[in-house]
Amino acid sequence: MGRVRGSNPLSRTVKILAIETSCDETAICLLECSGSLASPTFKVIANSLISQIEIHKEFGGVFPMLAKREHTKNLPIILDKVLKDAGEDPNKPDIDYIAVTSGPGLEPALWTGIVFAEELSQKWGKKVIPINHMEGHLFSSIFQNTDTLELPAIALLVSGGHTELVLVESFDKFRIIGRTRDDAVGEAFDKVARLLDLPYPGGPKISELANRSRARSKEGTFTFPRPMMKTSDYDFSYSGLKTSVLYAIQKLDSINNETKEDIARGFEEAAIEPLVYKTKSAIEEFGVGSIILGGGVSANTYLQSELKTLSNEYGLPLHLPKSDLSTDNAIMIAVAAYIRIVTERISIPEKIVANGNLSLDSN
Ligand code: KG4
Ligand code: ZN
């Protein structure tokens, strides 16, 4: 397996203003990019993000029309900040491209970013590159590029909306080999958190409680079924696991903090084992050169440590996003846009359309 050199290194630096509004984070960054994909260099000139978590907390999840309203309000504010921090003229900034997330995600939220990007395009005379949000998560670990990405790679993309195993054949060829058949794993973390009266988003809190249970006792007291472990495909399922947790809670007379920690641990281990098991099967079937982890659930320390064990077992590098790039952000959108520029895959449509179900396979 050869070390994949990214196509032609560009002879100049490229400055990309990226916009991300697919869910509940409004984010804009200005990223300076240079070099080949084997050793790219990224410099954050300015970056700003407003999270809507506090606003959506009371609904226990993201409310699309509220997200749209907040993005509309926040986009001009963070654009001003980014341009100011970068020392750029707001009427004529020195940038090469605008990149915007066009899907997947909540369509009303996606549209706010797209309309905003197109207005800037008109005003500044710069082209807009539509970017697949999952392509951002897929390549978020390239940002710090500690290790050259050996391709083909197997990517486990795990977020609030997606659970996908993707065979990355090259920087421009991705094949989804497995996906969830119902809930996404991040969504399961959020739903189980709600059952345990924990705040949205549930992932970080469940992870914290589960780690406490593991620190306290070697064996867990709750064991839940591992969904889809025995199937010969690469698919996942999380709705049954959530129901098993619900039934276990209903059987209890009362729940103290230790019981909550033990339930969180039982759930987390049941949710993560199929992810690791199927990643392992894919490594064996496809003979990949590296493992990539991306998406909000990649922040989960138990998942990280299980994948590190797998990467040691097979002698494969594990590419993880830096902690602030695991959940939604604009830097990963700019990185994905740069990869498209270097691999000469920038299709600039007449009109960008939000596609809530945009697939990586469709690229
Ligand atoms: O990628 P992301 O920011 O948004 C989507 O595109 O969905 O992912 C958010 C998801 C939420 O479901 C959140 O609970 C989960 O990522 N998450 C975690 C952790 N941190 C965030 N799940 C498990 N463990 C974590 N530490
Ligand atoms: Zn995401």
Q: What is the pTM of this model?
A: 0.94
Average pLDDT over all residues of the chain? 93
At 316, list the tokens: 């494969």
Interval between CA 327 and ligand 1 midpoint (Å): 6
Arithmetic mean of pLDDT, 134-158 = 92
Q: Is 120 helix (H, G, I), strand (E, B) or coil?
A: helix
Detail the DSSP E strand segments found in the chain.
14-20, 25-34, 41-51, 97-103, 127-132, 153-158, 163-170, 173-179, 290-294, 318-319
Greater model confidence, 53 or 43: 43
Per-residue pLDDT at 363 exceeds 70:
no
The residue among 208, 214, 186 whose CA lies nearest residue 297 is 186
Residue 125 neighbours by CB under 8 Å, 6+ apart: none
Tokens 């959020």 label which residue? 190
Token duo for residue 229: 């472990």
**Phi, psi angle pair for 136, to nearest 5°:** -65, -50
Atom of ligand 1 nearest to the CA of 25: 3
Contacts of 81 (CB under 8 A, 6+ apart): 46, 48
Task: For residue range 182-239, list pLDDT tens digits in order.
Answer: 999 999 999 999 999 998 889 999 999 999 999 999 999 999 999 898 899 999 999 9
Query: For residues 301-321, b (16+ Cβ closer than 10 Å) or e, as one string?
Result: ebbbebbeebbeeeebbbbbb
Indicate the burial class of 64 (C-beta count within 10 angstroms; 0-12, 13-18, 19 or more).
middle
Ligand nearest to the CA of 333: 2
What is the percent of the chain where pLDDT is above 70?
96
CB of 321 closer than 6 angstroms to any ligand 1 atom:
no
Protein residues within 5 Å, CB atom, of ion ligand 2: 159, 328
Q: Ligand 1: which residue has its CA nearest to atom 16?
A: 296
